[in-house]
Amino acid sequence: MSALILVVVGIVAGALIVGVLATALLWSWHRRKRALPAPTPVPLLNAPAPRFGIGGFSLGDVVLFDQTETWLTAALRIQDAGNEEATLFFSERSADNDVLLLRLRPELTTFRVHPISLPGAGVGPATLEYDQEIFTRVRLIPVMIERHGKTAPDVGSTGAWSWFESASGDIIGSLHTDHATLTFHGHRTQAGEMMHLAAEGATFRDEEF
């Protein structure tokens, strides 16, 4: 009988020891888990760079001019001593279509313009005649140029930016470099003339830009 009691006592004592050890191990594991630092996020390889955007417009956006769709696929960013001066947004059909011009100084203003050929618009005379209107140059500055998008015109990285205005409010903007002269004629967008569809949530192929 005493032997049986000893066996039972041994079993109970063993169970208590196992329980104490298990509790200690669990507590130690829990403390180590809490002390571990949060994992460092691993950067995605070949993550696409953010698409260029300025003044509320970005590459990939769609602009509707009188229900004519213009998909913004390229841009020329024009800066004066590090200050934003203007940005030209182009579509795949810019040679035949309207271009969106953002004038960023003295304030953000949007213009609907189209390419024109006009000798002397670069750094020529202070007045120009186009479409039976006289345009007076109000700005001529040296600028730095950034290309964004694979189809953006390659005009070099430096040049001169000219800005002409007429009595009617129409404008001529001209970007002149050693490689090319791009000249545009147009007007400030009016209420209801332009609809801007942002590209948020849309999916594009990398090669499209």
CA distance 110 to 112: 7
> Do residues 28 and 57 share a domain?
no
* Count: domains in the chain: 2
> Do residues 179 and 84 share a domain?
yes
Pick 23 or 197 by higher pLDDT.
197
Residue 65 belongs to a domain: yes
Give, for 50, the enclosing helix (H) or strand (E): none
Pick 66 or 137 by higher pLDDT.
137
Residue 206 belongs to a domain: no
> Do residues 82 and 155 share a domain?
yes
Pick 150 or 7 by higher pLDDT.
150
pLDDT of residue 134: 97
Residue 16: strand, helix, or coil: helix
CA distance 86 to 97: 19
> Do residues 125 and 169 share a domain?
yes
- Six-digit token string for 77: 């960013």
Sign of CA dihedral 115, 186, 147, 198: negative
CA distance 204 to 209: 9
> Do residues 7 and 94 share a domain?
no
- Six-digit token string for 18: 């196992």
Residue 208 belongs to a domain: no
Q: Which of 137, 147, 42 is nearest to 89 (CA)?
A: 147
Quickly list H helices, the chain: 2-35
- Six-digit token string for 200: 């948020």
Residue that the structure tokens 């024009």 belong to = 78
> Do residues 30 and 78 share a domain?
no
Residue that the structure tokens 């990398």 belong to = 206
- DSSP codes, 114-128: EEE--TTTTTS-SEE
| Residue 48 one-letter amino acid | P
pLDDT in tens, 101-117: 999 888 899 999 999 99
pLDDT of residue 1: 54
Domain encompassing residue 172: 53-200
pLDDT of residue 98: 75
Residue 146: strand, helix, or coil: strand
> Do residues 100 and 13 share a domain?
no
* Phi-psi category of residue 45: left, alpha or beta, with phi > 0 → left and psi -120 to 50 → alpha: beta
> Do residues 136 and 186 share a domain?
yes
Q: Which of 139, 135, 136 is nearest to 104 (CA)?
A: 139
The reported pTM is: 0.72
Instruction: Check whether 146 has a pLDDT greater than 90.
Output: yes
